[in-house]
Amino acid sequence: MHLCFEHVTFESSHAPYSPGDEPWEIIPASPEAGNRIAGALAGYRPAPSQFTGLMSAYHEALTAGGALPMSLTDARQSLELATALYHSAATGAAVELPIAPDHPSYAGWRSRQ
């Protein structure tokens, strides 16, 4: 997996079914970006692989009465990002977020026939 942004690139060479697993290579675009990234990652601990970390966080929240690790807003934003990626890949068009109800992929990714 290779993710490119304006100030940083992330690379992982893991199998396709474990793309989030460590190790990741973080390549800053400049020394300044590298310093900001280092500050943001201070104290970072990798989460358990796949759904283990999420399910542990849900269990902790439910048993201790704390906040859930993911809200419905978080889930919607994740789905909007995935929708934008699929639509852009299929059409070559840029996609603005959030995805509005009049967007061709708003109701789903499968083609309508």
Q: pTM of the prediction?
A: 0.53
- Of the candidates 19, 78, 82, 48, the residue with the CA atom closest to the CA atom of residue 11: 19
- Dump pLDDT digits (tens) for 15-48: 666 766 777 889 999 999 999 999 999 998 877 7
CB 57 within 8 A of CB 71: no
Tokens read off for 81? 């990002």
Euclidean distance between CA atoms 104 and 113, whole angstroms: 13
The set of residues, in sequence order, having a beta carbon less than 8 Å from that of 94 and lying 6+ positions away, is 88
Q: Domain limits of the chain?
A: 2-69, 71-113
